[in-house]
């Protein structure tokens, strides 16, 4: 079975694609068939991924490559390929598992939507593209899937296109990521120009293998930075992060699947995949490109965590938290901890999907309200949502020992602390841990504790189909930590290709206490700051944030996302607007006149030829026509309209022919 | 006594002429169609007879042509009869003497 | 010994022909043919008589009554009484009927039905007439039935007759197509149009005891069911007896017939039924082969007639169970479901062949059929609610 | 193949054909036409082309004759208004027959006896259809489809 799947790897993305096409062709009312088809497609993908995952367990450092020729131009063949290695295999498992949970959740969440069928078609389409992305063995194929994923994201953010804000958010996401993708594409072309191949692994000739890398030389830094541009766009890193919070306009399952667990992680995955290019020529594990990665990650992580403190929309807080965590992963990759970064990516996939789905469940229960200041007291009304959400929150905050997030964060801290270039990132990350605990505490106090406010008056627990995925994901988030502990760093070894060993002593590390203290500090700070936030007037939203009372300037600054959108509007967008106006003016007043002048010459020529036509040619043609018509009248007299006459004439003709031949013989 | 090719050719000529007779002398469109079908059958008879008496070939060309010609004749009959019905609906007659709209 | 029992009829015929060894070849041929013809007529006319009384008795049992039980032991002599009754009845020909056509119709219809019997293998070495294109012959002859039915309807000069004939022809044409197409997979797989070859191709046993009949393959099962239903329609039996539905149009094209001509129609219907079930047994149920290899000592013709009787029993059973369908339902069923499904059988048989005729082919062809069946039932929307009934009156 | 059988079948065929061409009632003419075609099929059998004969019966009796009969039914009001026979046509037909017969009898190369040939089995025809005649076969399939659709379009009720 595994062998068969490896030989037919294309089936893994193809099945969701096919399902998506089938669903698209369904009539609009077929909710049940659409849901069943989509979930079945996802289950099929999960099963196939599992069988592709199995062989990677057996041999450490397993790598299966299958290349094929896409087309040939001249004597040069453009080749694409599929690839399964531990990196791709764990991504496959994570995407299909989380995806399945989210598909099931969506059948409940979207139940009342009239575009239900279209939603599942898009979702399946996304799933196919994402699966294709992780198993492609060619930067070009990866890029194709990358763009398809972007398209799916665009379609799904703008799913409720009736809302102007959703349409605007979709456009913003598309354009912003496109800026990054432009860089990515340039890097891809440059890489192709230098190494002559886009295959990652090709029996020693791939661009990530020795032969290919030596051809890159000094340009590796620039290629790596250009590729990182794409990763920045997709993963919402600092200058290009502005689209991700707005992307929360899409349905909540979409936010969970695409804008938290899978697609945004594609940037991190890309960096991990192309890591040999980033680390080419490293001195002591540091290269200029990796340096950029680290600092961008640090800035993003800190900035997003700060902004998250001052947001009121439940999904926006989670969005900024996602950005912050992605920054964390980038830091980890940059300082050399590829395995640590990927581990955090996987853990993050589970718990962030859990948090988003929990948020979805809350929103569902509160009849579409997203403002946390209008909620409150949901603890007893939605017990399952509350408990799973709490697990998610503690995992995200990095509570040690029992939660997967804690272990991965510790791993990242560990590698960051040993970065030879600077200690600053390490300290900033520690601040980030406190901030994370703080904003999550704030959110959970607002939503689940205190008294019921406007939106939570008639809240109710969500149906089974929505709570079951929550429970499943919560269990995953906890159980996942088994393979992450330093005592048995199975996943770490699996990713790096070394053999695992169990040593209980390693379980207790100094950093463990440090993070315990930091997280505890964050929680304590949060509880202290927001202790009164829950007890307020029942009918009014909690409009004044404690932080706002204390530091209103700072809160304003953070609430408005550090004015970055406004900055872009004043600079980049204003510039584009000006240049567009200029081109418009040029077109109207300069080029238009030029074209009109040429038109005038043509007109003159036309008048001239018309004269010739009228005088000379027409007269001759008229004469011919009159003659032909006379001849036609003459011949038409022979047509009697009686078919039997015609038949007789034919018979006479045949007879004559017969006699003629007889006479000849 | 075994028959010669001539016998079959004469039979087919007779069948052809009878078909021609039906096609030429009757005024009803369906008779004309029947006549044409008989002429086609006569032609098929010729093909098969020539194949039977001629040198042996692989594939049997005469037989193949007869099969195809039967298939085509079936198509012709279907369309022809559909035409007859369509004409009848329009003109309320199938007498070909009255159908002379194409008179020049 | 068992071989001798198996071949007893063949030996008898040979023994009869030894009297003629001195005669010229064409006489021997003619006499041999005549022997075949008389044997066929004898067997099947007897079977017709038995069937007519058995049908009435079985129908009676199904409807919780006795059925004929007065003439002879258990009413078994009923057909004799019926025959005498039919023979001595007055033969009425309508005054404005087309006399010649009216007369020719029953003859033609009976001739066509009996001719069709001639190509079916009834046992080992017991095919009356071996024709290279035997299956084609069967259908070519069968297709003349339509013309005969039309002649009956037209010649009677009666609107019930005409309507009945039109209905009969419409449904016979519609179902002739699937009938032939469901035979195609068998012909494709065997590579021959000769019934003997088709029977021979089903001779083996898988694992030594499961017979290799085509009905045990997915395409074969599907084709068999479709063939059986189409055959039911072709022989105008309940639930597809619209052409002669007595509550609507008296007796369809047989309205103006009485006496022996009517009996001839009746006989032709039954003989047609025997022919179509015989062909079904030949094509799908292994012809005269025994279902278990251990029972091969039983004479082959016994097996053939056992299969024939089983199928005929199903005919009677269906007649006693199902109500009559409407003509538009019959037509929709033919063109929207049976025809696509029979084409699917052809494809499935091809898949079966190219996947190696083993278990793999078996599964793949099952998949093909399942997919098309599901798609068809989704397209035709079987769950659709019936529209409120609208009564339409004659205009 | 004996001359006697050929002549008997030929006489039957030609008589039926003549009836089809001259009978006043259209229905009788159609039925005679069917009989004539059965005769032609018999000739095919005698010539050793069993398959063609079967196909002829199948197509003509099963399909074309039924079609003609239906058409007669649908255009029934027109039946019986037949004008007297057209003698010019009859004369022409006789002339064609005469010319053809004269030509056939005059040509000595066709006065040959049938050679012994291998029977043309259905299998051989099938193989030929699937190898050297694949193109014509596909074309005929297309033609039949086109004819089917065309006939349907022609007879479709015109919506006012």
Q: What is the CATH number of the domain that holds B69?
A: 1.10.287.3510
Could you tell me the two tokens for C93? 């020909």
Is residue C163, in this structure, part of any structural domain at all?
yes
Is residue B24, in this structure, part of any structural domain at all?
yes
| Interchain CB contact of B70 with A (< 8 Å) | no
Of A648, A655, A665, the CB nearest to D99: A655
Mean pLDDT per 10-residue interval, chain B, length 104 residues? 82 90 84 89 90 80 89 90 85 76 69
Of A40, A35, A10, A46, give the one whose Cα is nearest residue A121.
A35
C-alpha dihedral, A324 to A328 to A334 to A335, nearest 10°: 150
Is residue B48, in this structure, part of any structural domain at all?
yes
Cα D33 to chain center, whole Å? Answer: 8
The answer to whether residues A400 and A407 touch, using CB atoms and an 8 Å cutoff, is: yes
List residues of chain A with CB under 8 Å from any CB of chain B.
Answer: 635-644, 647-648, 651
ipTM metric: 0.70
Is residue B20, in this structure, part of any structural domain at all?
yes
| Contact flag D155-B19 (C-beta cutoff 8 Å) | no
| Contact flag D86-A644 (C-beta cutoff 8 Å) | yes
Of B24, B27, B103, the CB nearest to A639: B103
What is the total count of domains within chain C? 1
Of A640, A647, A648, the CB nearest to B103: A640
Of A644, A648, A659, the CB nearest to D99: A659
Instruction: Please tell me whether the overall predicted TM-score, pTM, comes out greater than 0.90 for this model.
Output: no
Q: Give D-chain residues touching C191 at CB under 8 angstroms.
A: 123
In the DSSP assignment, the letter for residue C385 is P
Of C98, C132, C151, the CB nearest to D50: C132
Of A639, A643, A648, the CB nearest to B104: A639
Rounded CA-CA distance C151/C156 in Å is 8
Burial (CB count within 10 angstroms: exposed 0-12, middle 13-18, buried 19+), residue A380: exposed
Chains B and C touch (3+ CB pairs under 8 A): no
Tell me: cis bond preceding C21? Omega within 30 of 0 counts. Answer: no
CATH number of D1-95: 1.20.120.1200
| Contact flag A648-D92 (C-beta cutoff 8 Å) | yes
Q: Return all residues near C374 (Cβ < 8 A) that are at least 6 apart.
A: none
Residue ranges, chain A, pLDDT below 70? 487, 499-508, 532-545, 549
| Contact flag A641-B102 (C-beta cutoff 8 Å) | yes
Is residue B52, in this structure, part of any structural domain at all?
yes
- Residue D52 distance to chain B (closest CA, Å): 6
Of D51, D71, D104, the CB nearest to B10: D104
DSSP string, A487-501: TS-HHHHHHHT----
| Interchain CB contact of B14 with D (< 8 Å) | yes
| Interchain CB contact of C358 with D (< 8 Å) | no
Instruction: Go through C259-296 and write b for each residue having 16 or more CB atoms within 10 A of its CB, e for each that does not.
Output: ebbbbbbbbbbbbbbbbbbbbbbbbbbbbbbbbeeeee
| Contact flag D3-B2 (C-beta cutoff 8 Å) | yes
- pLDDT for residue A539: 47
Q: Give A-chain residues touching B83 at CB under 8 angstroms.
A: none
Q: Give D-chain residues touching A644 at CB under 8 angstroms.
A: 86, 89
Q: Give D-chain residues touching B57 at CB under 8 angstroms.
A: none
- pLDDT for residue A540: 47
Is residue B53, in this structure, part of any structural domain at all?
yes
Q: Give D-chain residues touching B75 at CB under 8 angstroms.
A: 143-144, 146-147
- pLDDT for residue D143: 92
Q: What chain D residue is nearest to B9 in terms of C-alpha separation?
A: D104
The answer to whether residues A150 and A130 touch, using CB atoms and an 8 Å cutoff, is: no
Chains B and D touch (3+ CB pairs under 8 A): yes
Chains touching D, CB cut-off 8 Å, 3+ pairs = A, B, C
Of D28, D62, D73, the CB nearest to C146: D62
Mark which residues 32-71 of B lie under 8 Å from D by CB: 33-35, 37-38, 41, 44-45, 48-49, 51-53, 55-56, 58-60, 62-64, 66-68, 70-71
Q: List residues bridging with A81 in a β-sheet.
A: A67
Instruction: Go through A321-347 and write b for each residue having 16 or more CB atoms within 10 A of its CB, e for each that does not.
Output: bbbbbbbbbbbbbbbbbbbbbbbbbbb
| Contact flag D21-B44 (C-beta cutoff 8 Å) | no
| Interchain CB contact of B91 with D (< 8 Å) | no
Residue ranges, chain D, pLDDT below 50? none
- pLDDT for residue A581: 92
| Interchain CB contact of C144 with D (< 8 Å) | yes
Q: How confident is the model at residue C81 (pLDDT cuts 50, 70, 90)?
A: confident
| Contact flag D128-B60 (C-beta cutoff 8 Å) | yes
Q: What chain D residue is nearest to B71 in terms of C-alpha separation?
A: D140
Residue to test with chain D: of A648, A652, A656, most D Cβ within 10 A: A648
Question: What are the boundaries of each domain within chain D?
Answer: 1-95, 118-160
In the DSSP assignment, the letter for residue A467 is H
C-alpha dihedral, A165 to A168 to A174 to A175, nearest 10°: -140
CA angle in degrees (0–180, nearest 5) for A514-A293-A571: 115
Which whole number is the average pLDDT over C316-322?
88
Instruction: Go through A550-576 and write b for each residue having 16 or more CB atoms within 10 A of its CB, e for each that does not.
Output: eeeeebeebbebeeeeeeeeeeeeeee
Q: Give B-chain residues touching D60 at CB under 8 angstroms.
A: 37, 41, 70
How many B/D residue pairs have CB atoms within 8 Å? 266
Mark which residues 15-54 of B lie under 8 Å from A by CB: 20, 23-24, 27, 32
Is residue C267, in this structure, part of any structural domain at all?
yes
Name the average pLDDT for chain C: 85
Rounded CA-CA distance C133/D120 in Å is 11
| Contact flag D62-C140 (C-beta cutoff 8 Å) | yes
What is the extent of the structural domain holding B23?
5-95
Rounded CA-CA distance A30/C379 in Å is 13
Say whether A62 sits in a helix, a strand or coil.
coil
What is the total count of domains within chain B? 1
Of C41 and A401, which is predicted with more confidence? C41
Q: Which long-range CB contacts under 8 A does C304-311 form with residues at least 24 apart? A: C304/C121, C304/C122, C304/C123, C304/C278, C305/C122, C307/C281, C308/C274, C308/C277, C308/C278, C308/C281, C311/C228, C311/C277, C311/C280, C311/C281
Is residue C220, in this structure, part of any structural domain at all?
yes
Q: Give A-chain residues touching D89 at CB under 8 angstroms.
A: 644, 648
What is the extent of the structural domain holding C280?
89-380
Could you tell me the two tokens for A465? 């189909």
CA angle in degrees (0–180, nearest 5) for A172-A175-A176: 80
């Amino acid at each position: 079975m595994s062998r068969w799947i490896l030989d037919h790897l294309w089936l893994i993305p193809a099945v969701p694609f096919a399902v998506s096409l089938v669903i698209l062709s369904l009539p609009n009312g077929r909710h049940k068939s659409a849901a069943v088809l989509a979930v079945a497609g996802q289950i099929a993908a999960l099963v196939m991924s599992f069988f592709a995952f199995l062989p990677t367990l057996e041999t450490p450092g397993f790598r299966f490559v299958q290349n094929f020729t896409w087309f040939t131009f001249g004597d040069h063949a453009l080749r694409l390929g599929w690839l399964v290695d531990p990196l791709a295999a764990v991504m496959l498992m994570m995407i299909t598992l989380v995806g399945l949970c989210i598909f099931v959740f969506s059948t409940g969440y979207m139940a009342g939507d009239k575009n239900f069928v279209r939603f599942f078609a898009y979702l399946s389409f996304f799933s196919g593209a994402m699966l294709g992305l992780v198993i492609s063995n060619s930067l070009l194929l990866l890029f194709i899937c990358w763009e398809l994923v972007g398209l799916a994201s665009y379609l799904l953010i703008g799913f409720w296109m009736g809302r102007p804000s959703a349409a605007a958010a979709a456009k913003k996401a598309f354009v912003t990521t496109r800026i990054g993708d432009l860089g990515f594409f340039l890097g891809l072309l440059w890489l192709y120009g230098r190494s002559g191949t886009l295959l990652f692994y090709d029996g020693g000739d791939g661009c990530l293998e020795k032969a290919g890398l030596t051809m890159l030389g000094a340009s590796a830094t620039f290629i790596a930075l250009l590729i990182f541009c794409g990763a920045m766009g997709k993963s919402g890193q600092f200058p290009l992060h502005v689209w991700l919070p707005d992307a929360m306009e899409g349905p909540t399952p979409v936010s969970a699947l695409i804008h938290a667990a899978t697609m945004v992680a594609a940037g991190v995955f890309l960096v991990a995949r192309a890591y040999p290019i980033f680390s080419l020529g490293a001195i002591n594990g540091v290269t200029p490109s990796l340096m950029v990665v680290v600092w961008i990650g640090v800035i993003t992580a800190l900035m997003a965590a700060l902004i998250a403190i001052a947001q009121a929309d439940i999904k926006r807080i989670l969005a900024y938290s996602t950005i912050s965590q992605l920054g964390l992963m980038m830091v980890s990759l940059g300082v050399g901890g590829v395995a640590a970064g990927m581990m955090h990516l996987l853990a993050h996939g589970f718990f962030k999907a859990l948090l988003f789905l929990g948020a979805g469940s809350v929103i569902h229960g509160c009849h579409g309200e997203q403002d946390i200041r209008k909620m409150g007291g949901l603890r007893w009304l939605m017990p399952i949502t509350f408990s799973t959400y709490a697990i998610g929150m503690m995992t995200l905050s990095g509570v040690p020992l029992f939660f997967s997030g804690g272990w991965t964060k510790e791993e990242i801290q560990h590698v960051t602390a040993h970065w030879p270039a600077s200690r600053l990132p390490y300290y900033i990350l520690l601040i980030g841990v406190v901030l994370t605990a703080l904003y999550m505490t704030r959110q959970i106090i607002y939503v689940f504790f205190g008294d019921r406010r406007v939106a939570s008056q008639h809240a109710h627990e969500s149906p089974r189909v929505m709570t079951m995925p929550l429970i499943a994901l919560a269990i995953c988030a906890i159980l996942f930590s088994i393979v992450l502990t330093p005592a048995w760093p199975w996943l770490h070894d699996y990713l790096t290709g070394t053999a695992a060993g169990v040593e209980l002593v390693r379980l207790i590390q100094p950093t463990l206490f440090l993070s315990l203290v930091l997280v505890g500090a964050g929680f304590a700070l949060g509880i202290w700051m927001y202790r009164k936030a829950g007890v307020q007037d029942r009918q009014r939203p909690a409009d004044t944030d404690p932080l706002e009372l204390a530091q209103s300037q700072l809160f304003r600054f953070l609430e408005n996302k550090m004015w970055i959108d406004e900055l872009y509007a004043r600079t980049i967008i204003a510039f584009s607007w000006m240049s567009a106006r200029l081109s418009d003016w040029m077109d109207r007043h300069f080029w238009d006149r030029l074209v009109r002048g040429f038109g005038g010459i043509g007109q003159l020529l036309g008048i001239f030829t018309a004269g010739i036509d009228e005088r000379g040619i027409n007269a001759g043609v008229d004469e011919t026509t009159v003659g032909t018509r006379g001849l036609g009248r003459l011949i038409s007299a022979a047509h009697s309209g009686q078919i039997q006459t015609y038949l007789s004439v034919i018979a006479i003709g045949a007879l004559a022919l017969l006699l003629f031949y007889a006479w000849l013989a | 006594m075994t028959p010669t090719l001539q016998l079959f050719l004469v039979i087919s000529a007779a069948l052809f002429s009878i078909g021609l007779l039906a096609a030429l002398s009757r005024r009803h469109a369906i008779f004309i169609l029947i006549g044409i079908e008989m002429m086609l059958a006569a032609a098929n008879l010729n093909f098969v007879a020539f194949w039977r008496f001629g040198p042996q070939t692989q594939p049997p060309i005469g037989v193949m042509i007869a099969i195809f010609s039967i298939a085509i004749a079936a198509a012709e009959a279907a369309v022809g009869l559909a035409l007859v019905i369509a004409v009848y609906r329009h003109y309320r007659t199938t007498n070909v003497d009255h159908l002379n709209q194409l008179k020049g | 010994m068992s071989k001798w029992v198996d071949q007893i009829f063949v030996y008898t015929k040979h023994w009869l022909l030894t009297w003629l060894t001195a005669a010229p070849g064409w006489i021997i041929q003619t006499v041999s043919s005549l022997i075949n013809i008389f044997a066929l007529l004898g067997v099947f006319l007897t079977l017709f008589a038995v069937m007519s009384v058995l049908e009435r008795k079985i129908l009676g049992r199904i409807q919780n009554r006795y059925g004929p039980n007065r003439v002879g032991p258990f009413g078994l002599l009923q057909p004799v009484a019926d025959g005498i009754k039919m023979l001595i009845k007055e033969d009425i020909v309508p005054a404005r009927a087309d006399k010649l056509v009216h007369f020719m119709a029953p003859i033609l219809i009976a001739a066509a039905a009996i001719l069709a019997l001639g190509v079916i293998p009834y046992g080992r070495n017991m095919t009356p007439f071996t024709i290279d294109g035997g299956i084609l012959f069967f259908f070519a002859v069968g297709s003349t039935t339509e013309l005969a039915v039309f002649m009956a309807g037209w010649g009677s000069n009666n609107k019930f007759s005409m309507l009945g004939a039109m209905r009969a022809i419409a449904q016979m044409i519609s179902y002739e197509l699937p009938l032939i197409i469901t035979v195609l997979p068998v012909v494709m797989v065997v590579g021959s149009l000769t019934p003997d070859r088709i029977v021979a191709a089903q001779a083996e046993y898988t694992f030594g005891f499961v017979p290799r009949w085509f009905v045990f393959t997915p395409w074969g099962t599907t084709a068999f069911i479709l063939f059986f239903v189409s055959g039911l329609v072709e022989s105008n039996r309940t639930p597809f007896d619209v052409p002669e539905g007595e509550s609507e149009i008296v007796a369809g094209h047989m309205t103006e017939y009485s006496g022996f001509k009517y009996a001839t129609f009746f006989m032709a219907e039954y003989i047609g039924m025997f022919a179509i079930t015989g062909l079904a047994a030949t094509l799908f149920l292994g012809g005269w082969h025994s279902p278990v290899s251990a029972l091969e000592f039983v004479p082959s013709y016994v097996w053939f007639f056992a299969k024939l009787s089983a199928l005929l029993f199903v005919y009677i059973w269906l007649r006693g169970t199902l109500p009559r369908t409407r003509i538009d339902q019959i037509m929709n069923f033919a063109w929207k479901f049976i025809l696509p499904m029979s084409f699917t059988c052809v494809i499935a048989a091809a898949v079966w062949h190219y996947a190696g005729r083993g278990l793999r082919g078996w599964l793949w062809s099952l998949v093909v059929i399942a997919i098309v069946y599901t798609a068809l039932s989704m397209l035709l929307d079987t769950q659709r609610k019936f529209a409120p009934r609208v009564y339409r009156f004659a205009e | 193949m004996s001359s006697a059988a050929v002549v008997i079948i030929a006489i039957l065929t030609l008589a039926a054909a003549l009836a089809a061409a001259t009978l006043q009632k259209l229905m009788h003419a159609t039925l005679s036409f069917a009989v004539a075609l059965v005769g032609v099929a018999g000739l095919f059998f005698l010539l050793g082309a069993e398959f063609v004969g079967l196909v002829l019966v199948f197509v003509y009796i099963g399909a074309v004759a039924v079609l003609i009969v239906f058409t007669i039914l649908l255009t029934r009001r027109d039946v019986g208004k037949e004008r007297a026979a057209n003698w010019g046509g009859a004369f022409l037909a006789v002339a064609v027959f005469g010319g053809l017969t004269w030509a056939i009898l005059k040509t000595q190369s066709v006065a040959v006896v049938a050679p012994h040939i291998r029977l043309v089995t259905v299998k051989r025809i099938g193989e030929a259809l699937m190898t050297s005649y694949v193109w014509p076969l596909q074309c005929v399939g297309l033609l039949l489809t086109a004819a089917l659709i065309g006939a349907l379009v022609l007879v479709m009720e015109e919506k006012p």
